[in-house]
Structure 1
Amino acid sequence: MLLFASLRDQAGWDEQCVFLPDKDVVTAEDIWDQLKLGPRPASVQISINQRLVSSLTPVQIGDEVAFLPPFTGG
């Protein structure tokens, strides 16, 4: 799991391994819920294996999941 920018600052870490919840299908939103950072802002995008996906995309063991807040600057 990877966090960037303000999400990294809020959580206090930028990279971490997480355990998948014990259920048949685990989604990216389930992973977000494990972070305990509150509701996911609509502006935060999700990437699985460096591909932008929806929050309902299933996550597999070994996938790299990243949560990306809006980026600014240049």
Structure 2
Amino acid sequence: MNILYFAWLRGTVGQGEERVTPPAGITTVGSLVAWLKTRSDGHALAFADLTVVRVAVNQDYVGWDHPIATGDEIAFFPPVTGG
């Protein structure tokens, strides 16, 4: 599984991309985030307030209950605004 971090999430986690193999039972974006938070203090801080984090799975915006699979690309980023 390929995880991408954008904007301030990249700096907080300490990397822009990582490949992970979550343990069995990690089947949704929400459960993935819960597991990622245990990987480092940076991960825990980045995901401390999920109201300021958006997620896409395979380049489609999804919710925290969206299912995930081994080969997915999962991207985390702050809300995007335009103007």
Report TM bin, short chain: 0.7 to 0.9
Question: Equivalent residue of 1:16, what SS?
Answer: strand
Task: Note the alpha carbon deviations across 1:2-35, whole angstroms, 9 max, x for none.
Answer: 0001111001001001112212x61111221222
Would you say how many aligned residue pairs link Structure 1 and Structure 2? 73
Q: Corresponding residue for 1:34?
A: 35
Distance 1:72 1:54 in 2: 18
Residues 2, 21 of structure 1: alpha-carbon distance in 2 compared, 3 angstrom cutoff: same
Unaligned runs of 5+ in 2: 38-43
Question: Equivalent residue of 2:79, what SS?
Answer: coil
Residues 72, 54 of structure 1: alpha-carbon distance in 2 compared, 3 angstrom cutoff: closer
Percent sequence identity is 37
Greater fraction of residues in helix: 2
Asked if 2 retains the 8 angstrom alpha-carbon contact of 1:48 and 1:63, the reply is yes
Distance 2:11 2:36 in 1: 13
Unaligned runs of 5+ in 1: none
Paired residue type of 2:27? V
Question: Equivalent residue of 1:9, what SS?
Answer: helix
Paired residue type of 2:76? F
TM-score, normalised to structure 1's length? 0.82
Task: Note the alpha carbon deviations across 1:13-61, whole angstroms, 9 max, x for none.
Answer: 01001112212x6111122122222434212111000000000001011
Q: Corresponding residue for 1:5?
A: 7
Greater fraction of residues in strand: 2
User: Structure 1 residue 68 and structure 2 residue 70: aligned?
Assistant: no
